[in-house]
Amino acid sequence: MRSPESVQSWLDEHFARIVAERGVPGASVAVLTQGQVLTAAEGVLSRATGVEATTDSVFQIGSITKLWTSALVMQLVDEGLVDLDAPVRAYLPEFRVGDEAASAVITTRQLLCHVAGFEGDIFTDTGRGEDAIEKYLAAIHDIPQLFPPGEVFSYNNTGFVVLGRLVEVLRGKPFDEVLTERLVAPLGLTHVAPSPYEAILHRAAVGHVPGEDGATVPAPAWALARSNAPAGSMLAMTPRDLLAFVAVHLAGGAAPDGARVLRPGTVADMWRPQVRLPRLTAMGSAWGLGWEIEEHGGHTVVGHDGGTIGQAAFLRVAPGHGVAVALLTNGGDVFGIFTDVLAYLFEQLTGIALPGRPVPPAAPRQIDPAPYLGRYSDTIYDITVSQDDDGTIWLDRVPKDVIAEIGEKPTRTRLVAFEGDSLISLDPTRGVHQVFAFIGRDEAGRAKYLHYGRVVARA
């Protein structure tokens, strides 16, 4: 296994080249091994300004924020203020979605594990005030319940906003303040920005998206709505500070000064599988209490990914080895740099090879796609699966609402048979072949849901 010194030498020698080769405007990486943290940063924070990325630059971590929200919730559990298996309404009487029966029984555990069952991609902008999350809860009263609580995993941003409101109500303070007081301060973190107001005090990365001519250009906005902050719309930091948060988990919940951030045993509970996943693109085999979990040759790997407007973040942790790698980027071939840097160093330090992303079979089997054909819809996409006269299967995805507003374009993808009731895109998008699983059957024998990490109901 590599020594810390050899890791730093490798970063010094290769990181800049990889960032350039992958067309990434700017990136920052931190590696925790043998109790030491090694760092590197390259590129620019914005191609509009040319400001250089440094190891003190803050990047948005996107949905990795959910791990911070999970820690805040588990602190409430540790203090006896929340029972994971009691209805959320015991603490948030105002919580309600479109299905009253489901609203009455959904639990905190189900929200942490993404099995609550209601529509999970609601990005309603409720303003920039401290009451943004409170107002958000009032805006989701009519969203659909896709399946009974606890039935199936479906990645759910909305559920984590509900958890953020739970934290606010039981702590009596806005989410940002609780995060700062309960995590940032006890850990002694110096470069963490819960909102743009703090980010502007640091060298802050700007996301980059494909322009009309195909070139990568600065994104039209820095962040998504403040209402979604507990799910990942705002929080920015250095990868070094992110690994300080991870180090507390590796220490069983103890801060560097010995103070308890989480009780002994709580981290083990968070890293214990709660729900199994179908094989999907870029997701683990199970989910714990907030954490993505993968099993590789008897070794457990935990982590999370995050994406905002043109920024992508990756975190992988090997608890049995005391190793963690965080990679934060602001555009370009983010999955390529994940493979070249994070996955490479992770294997060098642990011997664990992170699985490659799914690829289409060399000779896809012929199938009858009739059960899969039709239209599926949620709040951010209309998806149509169709078949040409020559037998080619197509998936058309049309963005709407906030996803359309930030510039995502309609896409058309050719699908082929993959595994079981799953199809996979024949051509990659940004280097990734996406897997679409078709689950459940209605009375006519048609798939009830399309699952690509999120469950989308047949329209």
Catalytic residues: 63
Q: Which of 246, 233, 196 is nearest to 71 (CA)?
A: 246
Cβ count within 10 A of residue 388:
9
Q: Which of 49, 22, 50, 96 is nearest to 327 (CA)?
A: 22
**Exposed e or buried b per residue across 56-69, where buried means at least 16 C-beta atoms within 10 angstroms of its C-beta:** ebbbbbbbbbbbbb
CB 277 within 8 A of CB 292: no
Tokens of 306: 């995050």
Q: Are strands 236-237 and 59-60 parallel, antiparallel or unpaired?
A: antiparallel
CB 339 within 8 A of CB 346: no
Q: Which of 16, 7, 80, 24 is nearest to 313 (CA)?
A: 24
Give the residues across from 458 on adjacent strands.
376
Tokens of 268: 């083990």
Distance CA 284, CA 355 (A): 10
Sequence-separated (6 or more) residues with CB below 8 Å from residue 234 = 60, 65, 194, 195, 196, 223, 224, 226, 228
- Packing angle, helices 239-250 and 65-78, rounded to 10: 30
Amino acid letter for position 331: G
Amino acid letter for position 40: A
Q: Are strands 292-296 and 299-307 parallel, antiparallel or unpaired?
A: antiparallel
Distance CA 378, CA 53 (A): 37
